[in-house]
Amino acid sequence: MSDKTPMNMVHESEAQRQYARVRLPAILHFVGPGGEEHRCELHDLSAGGFRIQESALSLAAGDQCTATLCFSVGTIDLSLPVRFQVRWQDRDSGDTGCEFERMEPRQVAVLRHLITSFLSGELVSVDDTLDILARDNFTRPRRKRTGEERSGLRHRVRPVFLSLVFFGVGLVAFGLVCGRLYDLYFVGHAQSATVTARTYTVTMPRDGILESVVGGDGQVGQGEPLALFRSSLLDLVRGSLRGDLPAPGTVEQLLRKTLKGTITSPCNCRIQEQLVADGQFAARGQEIFRLVDVDAQPFVMARFPFSRGGRIAPGDPVRLRIAGQAGELSGRVAQVMSPSVAESGTDSVLVRIVPDQPIAARFIGRPVQVSIGGLAPGTLAGSILTGTALAGKW
């Protein structure tokens, strides 16, 4: 190739237009600097200004005028008041370039809507134009911060504080989720559990009215009176009758006479529950008192699912939480047994738990939350997971 061959080079334009110009049909009405009225068609229009081709206009660069742009939207003529300034003028071609000034946001929004619809080939409707005028099409400008606000202590501390707060909330939520998962998969819970102890049941020796004689502390020694009862004498002699009915007068006498008796305590006990109120009638053989030995050591009877029973062995540590008692107790599994089918079926096992700390007798009969398994509470991970699991429950 010869060096004298001309090279065809195309240079990109370094100057680009800020707004796209379109030939949108519009009429401009304005009053010139000399007071003369003008009406002319626009050659092209953009969001920043317009160009007109009218050589008879008495305008010069720098002139400012107030005008009205008229558009035809369907069957309605839309008038848009504007202010413009003449930026340049070509006397040979008669072109005059003008720039909009002090445009309001609504005027800019309507003008952009008309130009965008014209470029995309869409029809401009009255409803769309009214919707553009009714809504806010511009975002609010950001507040400019001064140098003192940006460099102040409050401006620096606030983001750090908010970051720490959100980090702490996320950390707590993560801990609660981990605690619940740990509690669900690694810890076994009893279906039901109750504080119990060795008890004695006292029954009514014969039909009669019951009256308790135990003091307010509820404690009674072995052989001491527990209650008094009053029974009709007829009830005593009724079993000795051989089928012969006594005389009517004898029956009345037997009914008027009463037999008093005393019910004694079988042990050094405390009344756990009185099943028949004072002054009420009790039938023969009916349970009237439930007693607990004073020296009895309460323990916990818990019921676990049968699938968990194979992983429970005597000596395993457990955690106890008695209703109405603050804090948590520890204990050990003493016995694992299978209840009778008539009692609860074959879908559970009974576990006898001996607490490491003595339980007060007043808690006998109260429900207990029993959990077994998991990490040892003495380890750091076990303490954290146990704490988060309890926090998730309460």
Which residues, other chains included, contact 94 with Cβ-Cβ below 8 Å and sequence gap of 6+?
53, 54, 55
pLDDT of 88: 87
CATH assignment, 188-196+297-373: 2.40.30.170
User: What's the fold here for domain 27-134?
Assistant: Thrombin, subunit H (2.40.10)
For residue 237, which phi and psi values (nearest 5 degrees)? -90, -5
Q: What's the CA gap between 66 and 210, in Å, rounded?
A: 111
The domain segmentation of the chain, as residue ranges, is: 27-134, 188-196+297-373, 199-293
Confidence of residue 171 (pLDDT cuts 50, 70, 90): very high
Chain-centroid distance, C-alpha 244: 79
Confidence of residue 168 (pLDDT cuts 50, 70, 90): very high
Q: How far is CA 313 from CA 184, 333, 334, 372, in A?
A: 20, 7, 8, 11
Q: Which residue has the higher pLDDT, 55 or 302?
A: 302
Q: What pTM was computed for the model?
A: 0.45
Q: What's the CA gap between 242 and 305, in Å, rounded?
A: 57
Task: Evaluate whether the domain defined by 199-293 bears CATH number 2.40.50.100.
Answer: yes
Q: Which residues of 212-243 are buried (b: 16+ CB within 10 A; e: fewer)?
A: bebeeeeebeeeeebbbbebbebbeeeeeeee
Weakest mean pLDDT among 270-274, 367-371, 376-380: 376-380
Confidence of residue 13 (pLDDT cuts 50, 70, 90): very low
Residue among 308, 359, 307 nearest 331 (CA): 359
Q: Which residue has the higher pLDDT, 289 or 9?
A: 289
Q: Which residue has the higher pLDDT, 283 or 122?
A: 283
pLDDT of 230: 84
